[in-house]
Structure 1
Amino acid sequence: MAKGDVSALVIATASGAPLVSERPKPIHVLCGRPMLSWVLNAVSDSGVSEAVVVTGPDGDWIAKRIMDTPPSDLTTRFLEQPRSRGNAEAALIGMSGFDEFDDEGDVLILPADMPLLTGDVLQEVLTVHRQTGSACTIACTRQPRRSGTPYVLRDRHGNAIGVTVSNDDGEAGNPVDSPVGVMVVRRGLLAPAIRRTMPDPATGRHLLRDVPGVLADSGHAVATVAVLAELFEEVDNRIQLAAAEAVLRNRINHFWMARGVTMIDPSRTIVDATVTLSTDVTLFPGVSLSGSTAIGEGCDIGPDTHLDHCTVGPRSVVRSSTGQLAAIGEQCIVGPFAALSPGAQVSDRTVTGPFYASGA
């Protein structure tokens, strides 16, 4: 790692309890990809090349699921926090996972449950951090102050001097800068600052939100950067999971339409992040494409068709049919109401006719 580079530290210690699930929250799936994978891809897209993920006791489960399809151009390591003692302790554990120690480098710290993050917005946070030369930069949104809302404390000159939580409504409604849980800290200062934090009176845990105050008290500059709240939405329940998936599906559909794919009704078209589409593909309403499905140039798919881990050759038509782990050749006409079972192969230029069932 070059001197002064940035590494990422992802806190993925949340269990599945908020989602009423045995599965750890970081590997709940959105658009065919685990939640944590969306965060790691945003980190990679921001230009960061090294990440350490700190998990809870289900670390093996999480690591295996993520490394089945690892993020590109990002060296990723996993460490476990055996017992939940706060995200500050998790960060200390994560620091031991970096290859080299570079006092002049920076650490981008973020949670694993923000799947709407993008590389552009993380790059913006990193750019402000470098331009200000601060020891710590906090990503914030502007919102009305409410009881229980964390917000940035400032001195009389407007300089950030820490983060606190509003415990009363005496100034309710006044706009404040509220941290979203993402910050950048100079690497050589992070561990000493964490060790100087005091345990939270309510939980007894050491929290990362106290790090900026420790650094400011030591004479280090702390900066803030305004970000869009909707990109930093955390997923804490199934309702928020569904809302985040809707946003990601819309992004995916726009991505493919900008690259020559026609969607007759995007609101009724489901394409997972793992799917590959070619130019001049037309997707009719009710299409659902998942897994490693790949659709060749000039195909018409749908309506009401579900293909999972399937390949479709160029200029084929698939109408009102289902398929899993199946291969359809070039210039085929499949369906309506065909059912392709795992391993099915439809040869080039085949017309299956209606109600076709592979192997029947």
Structure 2
Amino acid sequence: MTRKCLAIVLAAGEGKRMRSSRPKVLHQVAGRSMLAHVLDAVGQAGADALAVVVGPGRDDVASEVLHVAPHAKIFVQAERLGTAHAVLAARDALAQGFDDVLVLFADTPLVRPDTFAALRAKLSEGAGVAVLGFEPENPFGYGRLLTDGAGALVAIREQKDASAEELQVRRCNAGLMALDGRRALDWLSRIGNDNAQKEFYLPDAVEVARADGASCALALAPAGEVLGVNDRIQLAQAEAEIQTRLRRAAMANGATLIAPETVFFSHDTVLGADVLVEPHVFFGPGVTVGDNVVIHAFSHLEGATLAQNVAVGPYARLRPGANLAKGAKVGNFVEIKKSEIGEGAKVNHLTYIGDASIGARANIGAGVITCNYDGFLKYRTDIGADAFIGSNCSLVAPVKIGDGALVGSGSVVTRDVQADALAVARGKQMEKPGWAAAFRNKMRALKAAK
């Protein structure tokens, strides 16, 4: 669109029903805050400027806004006197004369960019106000969208102020609204508080605009898209809704999910073609998966990059900074953090790799640990290409294992190992014939004496 758009995001609600010390809008859905979802979606819808209204003293909310959208302007609603009052906290932004003004809620995180664009389209077609509506299974508690005989929107009536006849209306207000930017400030300033709550309601902009002869339009969205989150139950519902979207998108783009309902994605998960994901896999933020990767059941991935033809799990944990090159294999009960696993390398069993680099085709045996932390600082372990680390070894960083080197099982390696060398660092085996039997006899006698 060539029309300039201001998006005002209301994020000042206290969210008391969340029973949380964290602001409601910072609670996460699919790995990022509800506020971030809204800011991202409206940005994709073409908003030219963002104004976010926060509560007093909410530096944490303001910080999240600027992290996601550095160009956004922050405004403070000092008193909570209703949604229209909250929008007017951004009076300075409204006064700049945008063509379109979108009013959004930071606790409604699932609205798609296309839906925001549809509201703006109503304004470009000549409407003064465009309202987003939906039809819930149970309309109780929602404002009703009242239309005339021709189907034009004439008013939005809150539940507490609606007549018995108006309460029979099934079409409800989702809260989101678009206004003609040239007249929005005037209309919002004329909204009164003659209602049961003595608050200044944003929906009353419809009646004010109509009194000026402006037309009011209606756009519809599915109920699941406009779900508002006020408590933990609704937060779980929002998570379920977005996970359904993400699973369908993954499968539509060529990934196989054996049991989709058991796989959980982050908002930014990227899967290549012909990826196979077994049941009960969790993707945290920042995971990119290449083509033809297999992720076995009960694996947990976050901040990891997997090249093509990699195999992971079952029961593997990839933490931030885990980068697996083409054909690498990470097996059961393996944890990898901030490490590079080279092409064709194998880390198959019961192993921790942290702050390390594993060369191409290297083999890491069962029970190997890179000892990377001394209680104060982290240190790196470098393992060369084609190296073989035997089972149950501890590699005490900082340490380097050369290309093609072999470390014998049970070794505690504290010094660098040269390329193609054999390193064995373990105590010499002793044997005392009959010692065990004598020990048992002694202890039995001691126990009997007691």
- Specify if TM > 0.5: yes
Aligned mates of 2:268, 2:4 — CA distance in 1: 30
Match of residue 48 from structure 2: 49
Q: 1:336 aligns with which of 332, 335, 353?
A: 332
Moved more, 105-114 or 46-55: 46-55
TM-score by length of 1: 0.88
Q: Secondary structure at the match of 2:297?
A: coil
C-alpha distance in structure 1 between counterparts of 2:32 and 2:139, whole Å: 35
| 1:324 alignment counterpart | 319
1:23 correspondence with 2:22: yes
What CA RMSD, in Å, does the superposition of the two structures yield over aligned residues?
2.6
Q: For residues 263-302 of structure 1, what are the structure 2 equivalents within 5 Å? A: 263-302=257-296
1:32 equivalent in alignment to 2:28: no
Question: Structure 1's 247 and 58: CA in aligned 2 closer, same or farther, altered over 3 A?
Answer: farther
Judge conservation of contact 2:146–2:169 (CA < 8 Å) in 1.
no
Q: Is contact 1:16–1:22 with CA below 8 Å preserved after alignment?
A: no
1:95 paired with 2:91, answer: yes
Which of these residues, 82, 90, 94, is aligned with residue 86 of structure 1?
A: 82
CA contact (8 A) 1:59 1:79 kept: no
Measure how far apart 1:140 and its partner are.
2.1
Aligned to 1:123: 117
Does structure 1 retain, via aligned residues, the 8 Å contact 2:280–2:299?
yes
Q: Name the SS for the 1:68 alignment partner.
A: helix
The reply on whether 1:160 has 2:159 as its aligned counterpart is no
Q: Which amino acid aligns with 2:334?
A: A
Change (3 A) 1:277 1:157: closer
1:126-171 per-position Cα deviation (integer Å, ceiling 9, x unaligned): 223322x121122223469977542234456654333223546633
Cα distance in 1, alignment partners of residues 162 and 95 from structure 2: 44
Q: 1:290 to 1:113 in 2, by over 3 A?
A: same
Equivalent residue, structure 2, for 1:150:
143
Gaps of 5+ in 2: 354-369, 371-393, 395-450
Paired with 1:200 and 1:300, the residues of 2 have a C-alpha distance of 61
Letter in 2 for 1:141: F
Matched-pair contact (CA < 8 Å) for 2:316–2:332:
yes
User: 1:12 maps to what in 2?
Assistant: 11
Q: Deviation per CA, 1:266-298, whole angstroms, max 9, x where unpaired?
A: 111112112222222211111111121222222
2:327 partner amino acid: Q
**Distance of 2:186 and 2:137 partners within structure 1:** 33
How has the CA–CA distance of structure 1 residues 304 and 148 changed in structure 2, closer, same or farther, with 3 Å as cutoff? closer
Classify the secondary structure of the residue corresponding to 2:114: helix
Using the alignment, how far apart are the partners of 2:283 and 2:323 within structure 1?
A: 14
2:103 counterpart letter in structure 1 = I
Counterparts of 1:202-241 in structure 2, within 5 Å, are: 202-241=196-235
Tell whether the 8 Å contact from 1:150 to 1:164 is kept in structure 2 after alignment. Answer: yes
Tell me how many residue pairs correspond in the alignment.
352
Match of 2:374 in 1: none
Rate the CA distance shift 1:357–1:159 in 2: closer, same or farther, 3 A. closer
**Structure 1 residue 58: Cα displacement:** 4.7
Q: Distance in 2 between matches of 1:87 and 1:173?
A: 22
Change (3 A) 1:160 1:268: closer
- Whether the aligned pair in 1 keeps the contact of 2:290 and 2:309 (CA below 8 Å) is yes
SS of 1:286's partner is coil
Residue 22 (structure 1) shift: 1.2
Q: Which residue of 1 aligns with 2:178?
A: 184
**Which one of the candidate residues 127, 133, 136 is aligned to 1:134?**
127
Match of 1:113 among 107, 111, 114: 107
- 1:187–1:169 CA distance, 2 compared to 1 (3 A): closer
Verify the 8 A CA contact 1:15 1:23 in the aligned structure 2: no
* Contact 2:144–2:166 (CA under 8 A) maintained in structure 1: no
For residues 16-48 of structure 1, the C-alpha deviation after alignment (integer angstroms, 9 at most, x for no partner) is: 322111111111111112111222222123233
Counterpart of 1:138 in 2: which secondary structure? strand
**Alpha-carbon distance, 1:220 to partner:** 2.4
Task: Report the more deviating stretch, 205-214 or 151-160.
Answer: 151-160
Letter of the 2:130 partner, please give it: T
The 1:118–1:355 alpha-carbon spacing in structure 2 relative to 1, beyond 3 Å, is same
For the structure 1 residues 272 and 222, does the alpha-carbon distance in structure 2 shift closer, same or farther, using more than 3 Å as the test? Answer: same
> Letter of the aligned partner of 2:30 in structure 1?
C
- Cα deviation digits, residues 242-263 of structure 1 (max 9, x gap): 1111111111122222222221
- Find the aligned partners of 1:129 and 1:157 in 2 and give their Cα distance: 19
**CA distance 1:339–1:80, shift in 2 (3 Å):** same
Corresponding residue SS for 1:335: strand
Give the whole-Å Cα distance in 2 for the aligned partners of 1:156 and 1:288.
51
Q: What is the letter of the counterpart of residue 302 of structure 1?
A: H
Give the structure 2 partner of residue 314 of structure 1. 308
